[in-house]
Structure 1
Amino acid sequence: MAYHLSLFFHAMLLLLLLLCPATTLAQNHTDHFALLAIKSGITHDPQRVLDSWNTSLHFCLWQGVTCGRRHARVTKLDLGSRGISGSLSPQIGNLSFLRVIYLANNTFKGVIPPQVGGLFRLKALVLGNNSFEGEVPASLSNCTRLKHLVLARNNLFGKLPQQLTSLVNLIRLTIHNNGFTGGIPSFLANLTSLEIISAADNHLGGSIPNALGQLHNLQEVGFSNCKLHGMIPSSLHNLSSLTIVDFSINQIGGDLPKDIGLQLPNLESFIIARNKFTGTIPFSISNCSKLGVVYLSENDFTGKINIDFSNMPNLRLLGLFTNSLGSSQPDDMNFIDSMTNCSNLEQFTFHENQLTGVLPSSVGNLSSKLIYLSFGDNFIYGSLPSGIGNFANLEWLYLTHNWFTGVIPIELGNLRNIRLLYLGYNNFTGKIPDFIGNMSLLFQLSLVGNRLQGQIPQIIGKCKSLSSLDLSENNLIGAIPRELFQISALSIYLDLSDNNLVGPVPQEIGKLKSLTVLDLSQNDLVGAIPSAIGSCTSLEYLYLQANSFQGPIPLTMSALRGIRTLNLSSNNFSGQIPRFLEQLNLSSLDLSFNNFYGEVPMGGIPELGLPKCAMSAARLRKGSQLSRAILVVIPLCSLLVVAMVFSLLFYLRRRRRHTQPTGASLMQPFSRVSYGSILKATNGLSEQNLIGMGSFGVVYKGIIEPYGEMVAIKVLKLGHQGALRSFMAECEALKNIRHRNLVKIITSCSSVDFQGNDFKALIYEYMPNGSLERWLHPCSEQETENEEAPHRLSLSTKSVDCNRCGSCHSLPSSGI
């Protein structure tokens, strides 16, 4: 029906054009010429939208152009989501009958033409997700009929002009993801028709004006990550029309009003995560029956969780993690009993609090839609209820760092969609259950720090998707099953340390070509290092200390060009220290308490800024009765200092491993980090953390908490055509490719931001010393004084020295 109506309209329009007087056609030349000027400013049109903009058709029939029925004048210009690049011609101001300009989701650059302010009939100006820059033109104040002003996701900056106070009909103001400054404008209080304000991810600063409480029609307010401080003014609590409130990632503090749930009964989304709120969570929130999203995480809330959730059937996301909730009373967990009516619950996270008590059996009656369930890092004790296996859709279960006892319930085997299972640092006993082998989608498994016994089950080899496995710090016995090394997906880490494993390491270890960290330390393993280990070319951290290995270091290990840490201490190794060690990318080498002889390799490449290893030239004299020689190499430390602090370093390393897995970028509690964690790590995606830009993404550096490690975070520009395909292709490629010359991907984030928009990011290992380009082409003399320019690499250095080090991975990289 709509198609036939469109044909009828076009036919009638053609008839009108044929019958209308020549004077009317002459008047329409203004629109015609203005559209041609707009076309001339467009430099890239991948969908060939503008092919129809030619003289063979009247401009009212051009694609993206809509004309009025009474007059053949342009009333709507819609070129949204066409992948168009270019600038917007000032002659758009000549389309005097325009009511709607929709150019969102393109790559328009340059300033917003001030001539747009002459379009007094304009009702909607939608320029979101482009690359417009400069300040918002004050001339927009002339568009007094404007109802929708959408400027989000551009490069605009400065203050919003005071003149915009004349836009009294404005309903929607969307300016998030820009660089606006100067605080929240107080003149917004005069725009009494406003229903939506979305201003997240700007640099506004200041406090929230009390005058915003005058906007009695306001339904949605979002000022996430705007550098705000102070408190939420009490006047906002009186806006009973509010449905969405988002003040997350700021420095706002104070207690929430006890009657907030009575004052804001229509709340659907309440997001104040990552602020400085204190006090208890008001019981009155129980009155907000429409709530679907509640994020109170990463604040300083205390006390018992007294909310009655039984009146919240729409609740989907509940985030209470990283606070100080709890009363140290055994009934801290009773609030779960009231959540059985939350049949739409998908995410329930309250890890990193101080909740005490037994996990009630009612947890098994929570929503069958649950995807994320996390209550690690608390003081929960007792056995794990069997009902925990009722969630067929569960993907993430994080119970680590509690006091759970008993065996791992067999009902967990029902979680066929589980991808991340963290049960570490509890007091679970018994054997590793065989049902683990049926979890075909399992991505990460951590059973570290329990009291598990028996052998590692062979069936675990069926977990073909497993990328990280931590069974360390248990009482496991027997040989390492060969089936474990059949899991080609193991790429992040394999940690079997601190057990009672025996026997040799199977030659099948060579099949783990993508593995980054291997820790077999503190066991009773014997035999030689398998020569097949040379096939594990992605290894960066290898810990074999405190076993009974013997024989020489195999020559095949010379292929481990990307290795950084190698610890072979406290074994029965013998033979000469191989010279190839100095060609590796080692930053830490420990050969102590073995039977080696010879010189410690020097290593280092001065031209690349890589320091030489501190050397101990001690040799074992022929006929000596010494049974051991201590040869410890740590960069930049003298042998004397190493000898003094060696035991302390070893102890501290083991302590650190109680809180996070050994090696680089082994994140807990989740391998996939959240949107909020990324914002916090990058200081709100600030320019100070920016290290690079590309066609489909922007790269920031940041420290992911609570792990304390610097990473490079590539945030995808999902509004740009092809960005999503780029994300999927990059994930697929990096899932299957490991190479010493490629910056290693750690994990990913595929989520939504606090406005509900799709958010995707890739997290890489951070390489701190600049880019390869800067090493090949050093900066000019204008280099800042506090930034040391890299050394110039000569042609011989680029070829010979890179070959000598055996790996361009040792070249500094920005991690982009």
Structure 2
Amino acid sequence: MPFSGIALAVLLLSMASHAKPCSDQEKTSLLRFIAELSWDGGLAMSWRNGTAGCCSWEGIACDGDGAVVEVSLPGRGLQSPISLALGELTGLRRLNLSHNSLSGELPLERLLSSSRGLAVIDVSFNGLEGQLRELPSSATHGWPVQVLNISSNRFTGEFPSYAWKAMVPSYNRFSGRIPAGLGNCSAVKVLKAGHNQLTGMLPDELFYASSLEYLSFPNNGLYGKLPITNLRNLAHLDLGGNRLNGKIPHSIELPSAFSNCTNLITIDLRNNYFSGELTKVNFSTLINLKTLDLLFNNFTGTIPESIYSCSHLNALRLSDNKLHGQLSPRIGNLKSLVFLNFKGEAMPEDETVDGFQNLQFLSLSDCSLTGKIPFWLSNLKNLQILLLENNQLSGPVPAWIKNISENNFTGEIPVELMEMPMLIAENTTIHLDQRLFVLLVCISPSFEYRVTTAFPKMLNLGYDNFNGAIPKETGQLKSLSIINFSSNNLSGEIPPQLHSLTNLQVLDLSSDHLTGAIPSDLSNLHFLSTTSVSNNDLEGPIPTGGQFSTFTNSSFGGNPKLC
């Protein structure tokens, strides 16, 4: 017969009465830990006003014998060095002090030598500093530690050789070479040490850590080759932003490696010095691949057909290599893509291109596009960013387009461009997707964007063949920070309505056929840092005061009637 509510309550009370309270020694150690903080986030009052037993205190968990097994106090604003009193909790298994303002050194040896069951240490996102010294074998023999997360601190010195299941020392200031000992532990699964100052070659031993699933060393100074053949369990490979090199297939061993590493989900080798023909890589075995980023390398040849077999790809970036040729119509098979970035390859000319309905970012710069803008692009309803510069597109501009610089467009600037909600509203956040891009959008190797809202709001129509007047409706685009109408055939006067663009930082109207005076009210644009109206037929006085007093003569040259 099932328990009644009363019987269940009696049983729980009975079980609780048999649970042992924490010892006076552990209670004292916890109170000393909190007393040594310069800011405790209100924990001292909470603990002292609580029950007598520390097992019921906020952030504290005990086992059935009353031993403290977990201290979890993330994001409480705790300040001061980590107290050595935590090393007196001999039963401690999990310690989480992440996302605080802790400083000083990490008393790792004290914690490990006293707490022989400690398995997880997370002190990420603090202000800890100093060096992590190598631990004596007597202190580490037989320890069960599985996770050490010390990311986003200020640790310095040489990279530690602790080989735990998950080691996350990224976003610190470690320097020197990666110790060979990291690869000697067959149990290591996660190794994330990006954004440090590491140098040298990846040690050979690291590529024999057969259990390794996550290998991440981006944005360091590593160089050498990449023999990943033996990492059969590898799922995430992120070595972007280094100086790694090698030519496919000899030094990188990608064809044979990929046939073994069928669990790969992420491959990020951007901003390195890899070379060779991608067609020698068989991507068809990577049935789980979701992200392939080879940006800023020296790969050559054409896009391999085998890439189109990776049906789960949601991010593909091959730009800024030396690739060429026509993209296969099979690219429409990649229906999961949300991020697509090519450069130098020709897109299919078929107007019936299907797919890409999930795309948020599409860059087709330098892709040999000719003629009119393909109409199928207008069907991408989730698209947030479209880049088409440096092609040879021509004809009138469709009203739905947004980024068209450095092409051969003709006709007048469409007034419809001046009706885009994201450029009219001063608060553009409500019109843009707040989700992070799958990949960082790299304008250059050191200039990156993560979200749509971080992009400068610009209207870039430079280096085309537009004619006619600048639409006066441009003045209603309140959120604009950049206007570039340079190197066209625009005529008429500069619209005085531009003085309403109070967020404007860059105004480039150079090398057109503009006439009349420069509107004096433009001197009230207090954020304007760069202006050029050179090489037109303007006349009259140059505005004075405000930001105009900081511009050099080159901003106004080529207008002999200006004074």
TM-score after normalising by structure 2: 0.83
Structure 2 counterparts to residues 140-539 of structure 1, below 5 A: 141-142=140-141, 144-161=143-160, 164=162, 170-233=164-227, 236-255=228-247, 256-257=252-253, 258-281=255-278, 282-326=280-324, 332-335=325-328, 337-351=329-343, 353=344, 355=345, 357=346, 359-361=348-350, 364-408=353-397, 410=398, 413=400, 421-433=402-414, 435-441=416-422, 467-495=457-485, 498-502=488-492, 504-539=493-528
Residues 131, 467 of structure 1: CA spacing in aligned structure 2 closer, same or farther, 3 A cutoff?
Answer: closer
1:237 Cα offset (Å) = 1.3
- Aligned equivalents of 1:562 and 1:65: distance in 2? 62
Match of 1:41 in 2: 36
- Aligned equivalents of 1:395 and 1:314: distance in 2? 21
Contact 1:68 1:75 in 2 (8 A): yes
1:318 Cα offset (Å) = 0.8
1:65 corresponds to which letter in structure 2? Answer: I
Contact 1:117 1:143 in 2 (8 A): no
1:30 corresponds to which letter in structure 2? Answer: Q
Q: CA deviation digits over 1:527-575, x for unaligned, max 9?
A: 4443333333333344344444444445xx23446632344445464xx
SS of equivalent residue, structure 1 residue 240:
coil
Match of 2:88 in 1: 94
2:194 corresponds to which letter in structure 1? Answer: A
Contact 1:541 1:563 in 2 (8 A): no
What's the % identity of the aligned pairs?
26
1:132 corresponds to which letter in structure 2? Answer: L
Contact 2:407 2:464 in 1 (8 A): no
- Aligned equivalents of 2:151 and 2:295: distance in 1? 26
Q: CA deviation digits over 1:562-596, x for unaligned, max 9?
A: 632344445464xxxxxxxxxxxxxxxxxxxx6x6
- Aligned equivalents of 2:416 and 2:527: distance in 1? 30
Structure 2 counterparts to residues 670-709 of structure 1, below 5 A: none
Q: CA deviation digits over 1:744-782, x for unaligned, max 9?
A: xxxxxxxxxxxxxxxxxxxxxxxxxxxxxxxxxxxxxxx
1:50 corresponds to which letter in structure 2? Answer: A
Residues 175, 402 of structure 1: CA spacing in aligned structure 2 closer, same or farther, 3 A cutoff?
Answer: same
Structure 2 unmatched ranges of 5 or more: 1-5, 429-454
Match of 2:445 in 1: none
1:523 Cα offset (Å) = 4.3
Match of 1:132 in 2: 128
Match of 2:97 in 1: 103
- Aligned equivalents of 1:431 and 1:549: distance in 2? 20
Match of 2:18 in 1: 16
SS of equivalent residue, structure 1 residue 44:
coil
- Aligned equivalents of 2:541 and 2:558: distance in 1? 14
- Aligned equivalents of 1:64 and 1:156: distance in 2? 26
SS of equivalent residue, structure 2 residue 459:
strand
Structure 2 counterparts to residues 551-630 of structure 1, below 5 A: 551-553=540-542, 557-560=544-547, 563-566=550-553, 567-571=555-559, 573=561
TM-score after normalising by structure 1: 0.58
Q: CA deviation digits over 1:643-695, x for unaligned, max 9?
A: xxxxxxxxxxxxxxxxxxxxxxxxxxxxxxxxxxxxxxxxxxxxxxxxxxxxx
Structure 2 counterparts to residues 715-730 of structure 1, below 5 A: none
Q: Count residues in correspondence.
A: 515
1:473 Cα offset (Å) = 4.3
- Aligned equivalents of 2:367 and 2:304: distance in 1? 17
Match of 2:432 in 1: none
- Aligned equivalents of 1:79 and 1:466: distance in 2? 38
Match of 2:444 in 1: none
- Aligned equivalents of 2:181 and 2:47: distance in 1? 42
Contact 1:117 1:142 in 2 (8 A): no
Residues 563, 7 of structure 1: CA spacing in aligned structure 2 closer, same or farther, 3 A cutoff?
Answer: farther
Q: CA deviation digits over 1:245-267, x for unaligned, max 9?
A: 11111111112433332121111
1:62 and 2:57 are equivalent in the alignment: yes
SS of equivalent residue, structure 2 residue 245:
strand
Contact 2:501 2:525 in 1 (8 A): yes
- Aligned equivalents of 1:259 and 1:349: distance in 2? 26
1:498 Cα offset (Å) = 4.0
Worse-superposed segment, 543-552 or 201-210: 543-552
Contact 1:74 1:97 in 2 (8 A): yes
Contact 1:10 1:61 in 2 (8 A): no
Structure 1 unmatched ranges of 5 or more: 327-331, 416-420, 445-464, 574-593, 597-816
1:142 Cα offset (Å) = 4.8
1:14 Cα offset (Å) = 5.8
2:175 corresponds to which letter in structure 1? Answer: T
- Aligned equivalents of 1:383 and 1:480: distance in 2? 22
1:10 Cα offset (Å) = 8.7
1:477 Cα offset (Å) = 4.1
Residues 99, 438 of structure 1: CA spacing in aligned structure 2 closer, same or farther, 3 A cutoff?
Answer: same
1:317 Cα offset (Å) = 0.9
